Chains A and B, each alone.
Chain A
Amino acid sequence: MAASTQPAPTAAPIHAPEPVVKLRNAALRFGDRLLWDGLDLDIAPGEFLAVLGPNGSGKTTMLRTLMGLQELSSGTVNVAGKPATRGSRLVGTIPQQRSFDDNTPLRARDLVALGIDGHKWGIRLKRKAMRKRVDELLELVGATAYAERPVGVLSGGEQQRLRAAQALADNPRLLLCDEPLLSLDLHHQQAVSSLIHRQACDHGAAVVFVTHEINPILQYVDRVLYLAGGRFHVGTPEEVMRSEVLSELYGSPIEVFESNGRIVVVGMPETVNHAHPHQGA
């Protein structure tokens, strides 16, 4: 695993505005496996937080907590001033890319529409208004060209643009991304990550971006939350992506180099020494 590029922004933003996410003394364990404990974290509007860590360190579980799908073992989690609840309209989600079956009877525009009102009962009645809304969103993410094509024939990158359109539909205050760039080519990685970044800087959304690979998003990242072996470290990329910090987190010697604006991590162990690794994040 390697991680990041370029001199990233300076210190953590000043928390003058009310934070979008407020984790207080948060702990999560499954049986005797501890994912994290004593986590205090505020994420400000417009802040881009990257969540890094090995498999099974609880990155995806962190997102599920913020979605209200996973309860904390102890501590509290607030989103926009209220306890996290499932299905909140203030939260948008971009999941991992997952291919659709070739014969799925949905076009690109239908998938986006489902992201907007798929949770409502019954059949869609205001079709015209929805069409207009979907057209705007497709335009926003640059997917107009394939609006009418079946989702099953779209490439991974094209599908992730539709995911972005779904997630941005409600102009969310908090945008949760679960490895959205996985298996995309470089061009689409840049397109999708810049869409996400735009939501943060233009609309003041807080972004929580789970990833294995920090380099493609390094230019946007304000802070990093690094989870490993039941422990964590929060700070700017310069503060966290250092040999001492990662060595301590993993409990084995790790070297971090900066090369050509990219962060290269050497000596990453297959497993983490402290917890029960590889249980799926």
Chain B
Amino acid sequence: MDLSEIWGTVFSFEDYAEILPLVSNSLVAGALLGLVGGMIGIFVMLRDMAFAVHGIAELSFAGAAFALLIGSNVVFGSLVGSVLASLVLGLMGAAAKDRNSIIGVLMPFGLGLGILFLALYQGRSANKFGLLTGQIVAVDTVQLGLLAVCSVIVLVALVAMWRPLTFISVDPAVAAARGVPAGRLSVAFMVVLGLAVALSIQVVGALLVLSLLITPAAAAIRVATNPVVTVGLSVVFAMTSVVGGILLALAGSLPISPYVTTISFLIYLVCRLIAWSRDRVRHSETLAAQAA
């Protein structure tokens, strides 16, 4: 395969207009998931739970692989896996230190189970690969319905918990004094996070969920401090990554996840650059002020 052939595999816009209507389902799902990922990512950052997201994703993968093996609904299997994992983490690992060790134990176990189920599975190998690296273009109307319902549940729950969850995440001492039930909120958040992880796996796969649940929020936090702006940017970044990734993937014959991860990574890089140059300006202004 020479370079131009590789390029042709990555990007080829022939027949683009004909393909586009066929994937409108995926685009809707992608936009919804961008909204979910961008919003919940802020809390993942605030609560320092990147590792938990990764751990839940591997158990979600095990659930999905099992569903695939027994010929059941893969989205459903992945939801069951991640909600179970997040309940275990939410109930057992209240302290960050405990949580990380529990995740470290659960994660390889989940991944191992998933690989076992896939090894036993006799069907198309593309299905297997899709669980790890994303498969949204294959979303049918039934699955789209399930995705949409779960997304709405996640969004409603997040909006309902927004203020007290922010409070216990950034300011636990005062929140406790104000009577905010931190324990129950944390468990509730874990369950919601589990749902969001299961949804994201349908787009980017179990290995790459962080690109949807962490990267956009991390990028937004770099450039904004106004909370409303931060959430808005995070959502825009996540949606751009998913929808842009799907559109670009149509032009080639590759899975969509490399496009999604690359876009979200580039956005993150740009945000870091902006933050860096702003800090430099601020720093030199401070120095100038001190010199004056």
**Contact of B16 with A by CB under 8 A:** no
Counted as pairs of residues, one from A and one from B, with CB atoms less than 8 Å apart, the total is: 95
Q: Which of A9-17, A103-111, A202-210, A263-271 contacts B (4 or more CB under 8 A)?
A: A103-111
- Which residue of A is nearest B48, CB measured? A101
**What CA separation (Å) do A166 and B220 show in the bound complex?**
27
Q: How far is the CA of A145 from the CA of B183 in the complex (A)?
A: 36
- For A66, the closest partner residue in chain B by CB is B177
Contact A88 B166, beta carbon cutoff 8 Å: no
Decide if A114 is an interface residue (CB 8 Å cutoff).
yes
Contact with B along A121-159 (1 / 0, CB 8 A): 111100000000000000000000000011100000000
Say whether B221 faces chain A, with CB atoms less than 8 Å apart: yes
Q: Which residue of B lies closest to A69 (CB)?
A: B176
Contact call B160/A121, Cβ cutoff below 8 A: yes
Known: A87-B179, A98-B173. Contact between A105 and B163, CB under 8 A?
A: no
Contacting pair B177 A91 (CB below 8 A): yes
B15 CB → nearest A CB, Å: 43
A107 and B225 contact, CB distance less than 8 A: yes
B 234-249 contacts with A by CB, 8 A: none
- Residue B230 at the chain A interface, CB threshold 8 Å: yes
Judge whether B290 is part of the interface by a CB distance below 8 angstroms: no
- Contacting pair B171 A114 (CB below 8 A): yes
B7 at the interface (CB under 8 A from A): no
| Contact among A67, A87, A122 with B162 in the assembled complex (CB-CB below 8 Å) | A122
B165-180 CB contacts (< 8 Å) to partner A: 166-167, 170-171, 173-180
Q: How far is the CA of A68 from the CA of B173 in the complex (A)?
A: 14
User: Do residues B167 and A114 form an inter-chain contact, with CB atoms below 8 A?
Assistant: yes
Q: Tell me the bound Cα distance from A111 to B175 in angstroms.
A: 11
Chain B hits for A103, CB < 8 A: 45, 221-222
The answer to whether A150 and B167 touch (CB under 8 A), given A87-B180, A119-B179, is no
Distance, CA A150 to CA B170, complexed state (A): 13
Could you tell me which A residues sit within 8 Å of B by CB distance? 67-69, 85-88, 91, 93, 95-96, 98, 100, 103-107, 110-111, 114-115, 117-124, 149-151, 163, 166, 176
B interface with A by C-beta (< 8 Å): 42, 45-46, 159-164, 166-167, 170-171, 173-180, 220-222, 224-227, 230
Question: Could you list 13 examples of A-B contacts with CB < 8 Å?
Answer: A68-B179, A93-B177, A95-B174, A95-B177, A103-B221, A105-B45, A106-B225, A110-B227, A119-B175, A119-B179, A121-B160, A121-B164, A149-B225
